[in-house]
Amino acid sequence: MTAEEQIEASPFEVFGFDPIILEALSALEFELPTPIQEQAIPLLMQGRDIIARARTGSGKTAAFGLPLLERLKVHADHVRALILAPTRELALQVTEAIRSYGKGLRVRLVTVYGGASYTPQIKSLDTGMDIVVGTPGRLIDLMERGILDLSKIEVVVIDEADEMLRMGFIEDVETLLAKTPKGRQVALFSATMPPVMRKVAQTYLNNPVDVSVEASALSSDHVEQRWMRVPQQHKMEGVLRILESEPRGPTLIFARTRVDCADVADVLAKNGLSAEALHGDLPQSSRERVLGRFRAGVIQIIVATDIAARGIDVEGITHVINLDLPKTIENYVHRVGRTGRAGRAGLAISLVTPQEIRRITELSHRLKVDIAEQQVPSNAQIIAFKRSLVVSEMLGDEAPISDELMAWFETLKQDHDVETLALRALRLLGSDRKIPMDSKPDPRPPSWARGGTPVRREPVRRDPTDSRRPTAARREPVGPDKLHKGTNEVELFIPLGKQRGLRPQDIVGALANEVGISGDLIGRIEILERKSFVGLPKDIAEVVLQRAPMLQIRGTNVRLTLAFTGPDAPPRGDRPAPRDARTPDKFKTDKRPFTRKPGRGKKAP
């Protein structure tokens, strides 16, 4: 089938998309529209405002991104669309997805978010962007400084609106909506619809259509999910340790590239595991052969890319292993969904580098599922499992004992000690299977995995309908502590306050974006004239101080310190800033305000 025939046969053609968009979707191997896409795309193409209730992983980015590209495919010199996202990770994912859908179009996008330099974001805006994707705080900063003009906005998309509410950004969202023209189109996407969010919709949306889909098929909470901290250079060893340390059935391993697929399958085969690669370079006949052998149980492991795995429909897959984290949450959900089907148990394990821990935390939070950290299996675990397989294999041999074998055994018993015979037989069997039988294996994880395990804390769930600002206390102290108000809460000192325009959502956004701390874990926020305090669980505060002792808030890098709250502490309003908390000049990134100067940027026509 030619590329043109594939485009013509695309189920997405019924929406009336430009052939360039259809070609991009074909290259991405989009097969059928998801339920949210089927319902939302026609309405958005008609210019209607919508309130769409769909979970993460439902395909909602394409649901609003494709109509947006179709509308804006003729480039203009001003910002025409605004996409609001609660975190920079989501903003970056949305930008990357829309770019992939519009490959070949002249539509230009920029992502803006806090915690990053203003300079490249401003330069991009000065060159003329069609779509701006960003977090509320940075968008407001750019707007107030005269850099972002919202007067010609045609479309506003609010992605994960309930997260905006939970993180305290809803007032910022209203501020941005109020600055856009009255006749603009608004698409609001949210997993839930609290009363406060419904009120915002009634105020700023024009006769919106409610779109709600059943997302159970796209949920990942029916699968046990874990992650394992593995440095990049030890990924292959990490995969082997998983495969050799616990019972499993058919297993699907996801790799990022075709080369990775082939390399991983080759290493597994050399280690005695039946594995084959599945990727886009394989001809159709080879692909069908691999899948047939997998279904028949001839091979136990397939290593595949995301695109190649879309055609895999095999029941009974017990394990999914992510060699690398996928780029989007949608891909993560689809990967995990390959196991745990038809009511069976399923397990998904992701190998996460130390630099990616923040991403797996974000995945867990946004999908609202527990993704537990597990230790890298030790040599002792691996050998114990292999030995148990030997015993199971021996006891599971139900073939009748022949008279010849029984007679030989009786003869051996007369000349040899039975226990010695059994022990020597086990040693020979272990040697044949490459299982150490005489040495005591190390019970510790491998040396590269002994860097310590972060303390995991169960999130404190808040009522999503609670519209209170983050300044309100969210948890009661559970008992006195030597220095702190509660055994599970300490305070961090921030040497910025009202004088610099600091708001609670600035602190929440900085902790969420810079450190990956869920808003559920942030307690009281107190903002004074020149200083502020934020309450956190003690273990979380330790993580913050370790990962981000310098945190960028409202364009300024500030040093976080543990606030002293003992009985001898001075009154809060009189407390001077700790000397080491004041921002050194070399860290200041906001020495002068970014304001639009006359004549800067494009000249008015």
CATH number of 260's domain: 3.40.50.300
Residue 360 within any structural domain of the chain? yes
**In 10 A of CB 409, how many CB atoms?**
12
Confidence at residue 85, expressed as pLDDT on a 0 to 100 scale: 93
Q: Tell me 73's DSSP state.
A: -
* Whether residues 193 and 258 fall in one domain: no
Is 85 within a domain?
Answer: yes
State the Cα–Cα distance between residues 1 and 8, nearest whole angstrom: 11
**Does the residue 9 lie in any domain?**
yes
Looking from the CA of 12 toward its CB, the CA atoms found within 13 Å total 30
369-385 burial string, b = 16+ CB within 10 Å, else e? bebeeeebbbbebbbee
- Based on the fold, state whether residues 250 and 330 are members of the same structural domain: yes
**For residue 569, what pLDDT is reported?**
56
Tokens of 395: 């006891």
Residue 43 C-alpha from the chain's centroid: 29
Q: Would 417 be classed as within a structural domain?
A: yes
Q: Measure the CA–CA gap between 155 and 43, rounded to whole angstroms.
A: 13
Residues 199, 101 within the same domain: yes
- On whether both 370 and 506 belong to a single domain, the answer is no
Of 377, 401, 420, which residue constitutes the final position of a domain? 377
Buried b (16+ CB within 10 A) or exposed e, 169-198: bbbbbeebbebbeeebbbbbbbbebbebbe
Residue in this structure with the two tokens 């972060």, named with its chain if needed: 454
- pLDDT number for residue 590: 41
Q: Where are the alpha helices (DSSP H) in 215-367?
A: 235-243, 258-270, 284-295, 306-309, 329-336, 357-367
Quick one: pLDDT at residue 601? 46
DSSP annotation of 514 reads I
The reported pLDDT for the residue numbered 343 is 61
Q: What is the pLDDT of residues 117-161, one digit of tens each?
A: 899 999 999 998 999 999 999 999 999 999 999 999 999 999 988
Distances in whole angstroms, Cα of residue 97 to Cα of each of 21, 24, 347: 13, 11, 27
Residues 235, 254 within the same domain: yes
pLDDT at 194 (0 to 100): 84
Tokens representing 27 are: 């290259």
Return the structure tokens found at 386.
């292999």
CB 230: neighbour CB atoms within 10 A? 25
- Neighbour count for residue 330 (Cβ, 10 Å): 21
Q: Judge contact between 490 and 536, C-beta under 8 A.
A: yes
Query: What's the per-residue H, E or C state across 199-251?
Result: HHHHHHCCCCEEEECCCHHHCCCCCEEEEEECCHHHHHHHHHHHHCCCCCCCE
The closest alpha carbon to 321, from 308, 304, 307, belongs to 304
> Based on the domain organization, do 360 and 386 belong to the same domain?
no
**Does residue 314 sit in helix, strand or coil?**
coil
Question: Is 95 among the domain residues?
Answer: yes
Judge contact between 551 and 510, C-beta under 8 A: yes
- Of 216, 234, 254, the position where a domain reaches its end is 216
Structure-token match 């006891």, residue found: 395
How far is CA 5 from each of CA 12, 21, 62, rounded to the nearest angstrom?
13, 15, 22
* 3 state SS for 415-447: HCCHHHHHHHHHHHHHHHHCCCCCCCCCCCCCH
Beta bridge partners of 82: 132, 156
Amino acid 571: pLDDT: 58
- 378: nearest Cα among 300, 320, 448: 448
Kindly report the backbone phi and psi dihedral angles of residue 82, in degrees, each rounded to the nearest multiple of 5, phi listed first.
-125, 125
What CATH number does residue 551 fall under? 3.30.70.330
Say if 400 falls within a structural domain: yes
Maximum Cα–Cα distance for the chain, whole Å?
Answer: 107
Segments of the chain scoring below 70 in pLDDT: 1-10, 55-57, 214-222, 284, 310-313, 341-343, 451-488, 516, 518-520, 565-605
Residues 344, 406: one domain? Answer: no
Instruction: Please give the helix or strand (H or E) that residue 112 lies within, else none.
Output: strand 109-112
Q: What pLDDT, on a 0 to 100 scale, did the predictor assign at position 279? A: 81
Same-domain status, 163 and 249: no
| SS3 state at 83 | strand
Question: DSSP letter string over 530-577?
Answer: S-EEEEE-HHHHHHHHHH-SEEEETTEEEE-EEPP-STTPPPGGGPPP
Residues 34 and 57 in one domain: yes
What's the Cα-to-Cα distance from 194 to each of 40, 187, 247, 451, 465, rounded to whole Å? 20, 16, 43, 42, 5
Q: How many residues does the chain have?
A: 605
- Residues 417 and 356 reside in one and the same domain: no
Number of domains in the chain: 4
Structural domain including 406 reads 380-433
* CB of 266 closer than 8 Å to CB of 279: no
**Residue 596 placed within a domain:** no
Strand partners, 186: 156
What is the CA angle 27-32-33, rounded to 5? Answer: 105
Q: What are phi and psi of 416, to 5 degrees?
A: -140, 155
The verdict on 234 and 183 lying in the same domain is: no
Residue 88 sits in the same domain as residue 104: yes
Q: Is residue 51 a contact partner of residue 157, using CB atoms and an 8 Å limit?
A: no
Q: Which two tokens stand for residue 120?
A: 């490249």
Position 294 in a domain:
yes
